[in-house]
Amino acid sequence: MVEPEVPEADLSTTDRPLSFDYAALDGTRVTGESTRGRITVVVFITTYDLRSQIILRELSELMHTKTPRFNTLGVVLEPPKNAPLVDAFATTMELPFRLALSPSPEAFDEGEFGKVDAVPTVVILDRRGMQRFRRAGHMSTAELDAAISQANR
């Protein structure tokens, strides 16, 4: 079986664990510390973008089949007033992972994850919470799988 190439990352890796804290729609907190110990995929999306919806489906499928297991967090780049819409979106998509709303649009100009100016944007953290991969735009299931596997090494 030919392994898919790992897609080229847009940004280099980090030399320290990322520190983040999001309020998930289910009322729980998702922090950098709480995700350590597993590979973590953070995907920045919007509810109205078809590529965002496709990548969420692909991540959902991988979560059911890939071992070792990995964490996934979807960060929705929409204003807090859209919370009811985002909740309905998550229910309709039947996602096996949590979604969180961005604290504010300005929070993604600069911050722990750097500038996020395209959706979807995928960031993969290793078991220690350090960024090992980042890419804006669509990724196939095979590309996601390969990028997650590489971060696990």
Can you tell me the distance from the alpha carbon of 86 to that of 80, in angstroms, rounded to the nearest whole number?
9
Residue 134: closest CA among 47, 99, 144: 144
Hey, what are 63's tokens?
Answer: 């979560």
pLDDT at 11: 46
Hey, what are 109's tokens?
Answer: 């100009």
Q: Of all residues in the chain, what percent are helix, strand and coil, respectively (each to 5)?
A: 30, 20, 45
pLDDT at 57: 96
Can you tell me the distance from the alpha carbon of 89 to that of 52, in angstroms, rounded to the nearest whole number?
12
Can you tell me the distance from the alpha carbon of 31 to that of 123, in angstroms, rounded to the nearest whole number?
15
Mind listing the pLDDT tens digit of every residue in the chain (153 residues)? 445 555 555 445 778 999 999 999 999 999 999 999 999 999 999 999 999 999 999 999 999 999 889 999 999 999 888 999 999 999 999 999 999 998 766 666 657 888 888 999 999 999 999 999 999 999 999 999 999 999 988
pLDDT at 106: 62
CB 93 within 8 A of CB 56: yes
Hey, what are 57's tokens?
Answer: 């489906």
> Domains (ranges, CATH) in the chain?
21-151 (3.40.30.10)
Can you tell me the distance from the alpha carbon of 61 to that of 79, in angstroms, rounded to the nearest whole number?
28
Indicate the DSSP class of residue 49: -
